[in-house]
Amino acid sequence: VDKKERFTRMTNQRLLLLEHLQESKKHLTIDQLYSAVKPQLPKLSKATVYRNINLLEEEGLVQSLDIGKKEKLYEVASEPHHHFVCDNCNRIIEVNLADIWQIKERIERKYGVKVDSYQLIAKGKCDFCQRH
Can you give the binding site for Zn ion, defined by CB under 5 A?
75, 86, 88-89, 91, 94, 126, 129
Nearest approach in angstroms of CB 45 to Zn ion is: 27
Query: Among residues 15 and 129, whose Cβ is nearest to Zn ion?
Result: 129
3-state secondary structure of 95: strand
CA atoms of 42 and 98, how far apart (whole Å): 44
**β-bridge mates for residue 28, sequence order:** 74
Query: Among residues 28 and 86, whose Cβ is nearest to Zn ion?
Result: 86
Nearest approach in angstroms of CB 102 to Zn ion is: 20
